[in-house]
Each structure stands twice: as structure tokens, then as C-alpha cells.
Amino acid sequence: MSNKVYDVLKYIALVFLPALEVFIGIILSCFDFQYTEIVLKIMAGFDTFLGSVLMISNSNYKKNNQV
């Protein structure tokens, strides 16, 4: 994974997705959407998965580039 791809995915996982989750949660709650909790759990699960994959990638990168 290139540095640019990693940086973009890291921004998405750390900034964009959590903000989107809050926004979606508020909007769905305002409309009394029946499945708001399920939607938010799926979004949080995806964000957690992405963060985990990025952490593993970062760990492998650091391990391979030690002198």
C-alpha cells in the first residue's frame, strides 16, 4: 500500500467515518427510522475493521523498515 493510499484511508477511518456516523445517526433519529441502531452498528463495525487493517499495515511497514 502506498503512503498516499494509507494517508487517505487513515483520514477516512479517523475523521470522516466517525463524523459521518454521528451525522447519519442524528438524521435517522430525527425521522424516527426504525433501524437507526443497526445502521450505526454496521458503520462502526466497518470503521473498526478499516482501522484494524490500517494498524496491521502500519505495524508491518515499521517492522520491515527497521535498520
* Full pLDDT tens readout for the chain, 67 residues: 778 988 999 999 999 999 999 999 999 999 999 999 999 999 999 999 999 999 998 888 888 887 5
Domain borders along the chain are 3-55
Q: What is the pTM of this model?
A: 0.81
Q: Is the dihedral of CA 23, 25, 26, 28 positive or negative?
A: positive
DSSP 35: T
3-state helix, strand, coil in the chain (%, to 5): 85, 0, 15
